Amino acid sequence: MLAQEIIRLKRDGRRLSSAQIECFVRGLGDDSWSEAQIAAFAMAVCLRGMQRDECVALTTAMLQSGRVIAWPDLPGPVLDKHSTGGVGDKVSLLLPAMVAACGGFVPMVSGRGLGHTGGTCDKLSAIPGYELAPGTGRFERVVREVGCAVTATGADLAPADSRLYAIRDQTSTIESLPLITASILSKKLASGLQGLVMDVKFGNGAFCETLPAAQELAQSLVEVAGGAGLPTRALISDMNQVLGRTVGNGLEVIEALDYLTGRAREPRLHELTLALGAEMLMLGGLAGERDAARLKLQAALDSGAAAERFARMVAALGGPVDLLEQPRCGLAAAPVALEVLASRAGRLTAMQTREIGLLVLELGGGRRRADDPIDTRVGLSELRALGETLRAGEPLARVHAADLAAAQVAGARLQAACTLSEPGAAWQGAPVVNE
Ligand code: URA
């Protein structure tokens, strides 16, 4: 079948058969189609959409375009969690070790930062020696021996998605519900999961700005994953403020280790981590109900078992063997650290979260172009949360930057991105997880 025939059908709003979708995806994998044809297909799907069964066929075909990992004989369920992207979201650094300490196995393939949102791979790249592309054999061995491994998506997992994604990125076709759904799920299905928990974020720092948009994406992900044979649950979480106290790759690793070792646990981060982790344990049959699952996760933190799993994973993937004992966990510090002060007294009632993600990107913590290097030392720490009251001159956060001029620019942007209302202003905290 000709690519242009498949494109014409979708352009005219017709439903594609599984055979037509499989044919198109085969062509993506074996380079039969030109970039123009792939771009036209993506735009046709973006404008015309897909029925659920078409999206299941697209997901399955992309999954089958590469290697599919199998996990025979593991003594526990194979589980994963995926987030649609946020600012300061370091939950993917926490849950693999916590779930592994509760008896699950988590082979997490993760991505690099996209736009203003951070990526788990970039965060882990701050750890000296950590191998993000350890090769198939080592990845599987670490999952078996430690219970979790977090690495970059291998080029051999759903390669058709990589080709389509690169072209979507250049043609304004990222924002398509069926294409996002198939892209995320094909990679997750290829890693051989038995259960997946999705964290679909909404708000001014998320890809979905509104709750209804996030609900629609969550429903698409859950239904398509179910159709492709992967039991999946989705939680919808608030991204109208930074999650936790830090933004920036190395700083988020330090916050994650503070969390795992119990040195500091920001309440919203803790709530979301337990909520997502509880769904993972229930999905994997490791806990019967929510309260029991949360207690089990908390026990894994309190006993030090989760921190110990994280440290073992890092050591097994080439990082320092004494990560937990080193000051700053062995991570490099930025040359400049500057306090950003509240310009007036008031209650912190709003954050422009996307703007905060962008200012960290422009400090060098993210990429403008796919091949840009990143500076894992830069970002924000000690960031205050919505609802907190500050005195004039009290620190709002600390900026970590390569030089003083960059720190001052970022500090001014942070002040402008945070709304300080009258000290007694009413403020109703948003729930971190929406049912
Ligand atoms: N993340 C992905 O992996 N794919 C998308 O299309 C969007 C976000």
Question: ipTM strictly over 0.90?
Answer: yes
Residue 341 pLDDT: 97
Which of 83, 112, 114, 167 maximizes ligand 1 atoms within 8 Å of its Cβ, making it the mutation to test the pocket? 114
Q: 420 in helix, strand or coil?
A: strand
| Cβ neighbours of residue 29 closer than 8 Å, sequence gap 6 or more | 65, 66, 159, 160, 163
Q: Catalytic residue at 80?
A: yes
**Hey, what CATH topology would domain 3-63 get?**
1.20.970
Could you tell me the distance, in angstroms and rounded to a whole number, from the CA of residue 85 to the centre of ligand 1?
9
Q: Is 427 helix (H, G, I), strand (E, B) or coil?
A: coil
CA of 169 to the centre of ligand 1 (A): 10
At residue 435, the pLDDT reads 67
For atom 3 of ligand 1, the residue with the nearest CA is 184
Portions of the chain given CATH number 1.20.970.10: 3-63
pLDDT tens per residue across span 177-233? 999 999 999 999 999 999 999 999 999 999 999 999 999 999 999 999 999 999 999
* Edge-to-edge order in the sheet of strand 79-83: 79-83, 195-202, 232-238, 433-434
Q: Closest ligand 1 atom, CA of 183?
A: 4
Based on the residue annotation, tell me whether 59 is a catalytic residue of this protein. no
CATH class for the domain made up of 333-421: alpha beta
Please give the distance, rounded to the nearest whole angstrom, from the Cα atom of residue 187 to the centre of ligand 1.
10
Q: Which atom of ligand 1 has the smallest separation from the CA of 174?
A: 6
Residue 427: per-residue pLDDT: 78
Contact 108, 150 (CB under 8 A): yes
User: Which residues line ligand 1 at a C-beta cut-off of 6 Å?
Assistant: 111, 165, 174, 179-180, 183-184
Where along the chain do the CATH 3.90.1170.30 domains lie?
333-421
| CATH number, domain 79-316 | 3.40.1030.10
Is 290 designated active site? no
Pocket test for ligand 1, best of 174, 176, 189, 196 (most atoms within 8 A of CB): 174
pLDDT tens over the chain, length 435 residues: 899 999 999 999 999 999 999 999 999 989 999 999 999 999 999 999 999 999 999 999 999 999 999 999 999 999 999 999 999 999 999 999 999 999 999 999 988 777 788 899 999 999 999 999 999 899 999 999 999 999 998 778 999 999 998 899 788 898 899 999 999 999 999 999 999 999 999 999 999 999 999 999 999 999 999 999 999 999 999 999 999 999 999 999 999 999 999 999 999 999 999 999 999 999 999 999 999 999 999 999 999 999 999 999 999 999 999 988 888 888 999 999 999 999 999 999 999 999 999 999 999 999 887 778 999 999 999 999 999 999 999 999 999 999 999 999 999 999 999 999 987 778 778 889 986
Per residue in 403-416, is it b (16+ CB within 10 Å) or e — as a string?
eeebbeebbebbbe
- The predicted pLDDT at position 406 comes to 98
Going by alpha carbons, the residue nearest to atom 1 of ligand 1 is 184
Supply the residue whose CA is at minimum distance from atom 2 of ligand 1: 184
The closest-lying atom of ligand 1 relative to the alpha carbon of residue 184 is: 3
CATH 3.40.1030.10 residue ranges for the chain: 79-316
The tens digit of pLDDT for each residue in 321-344 reads 998 888 888 899 999 999 999 999
Using the structure block, give the residue that is written with the tokens 């894992």: 376
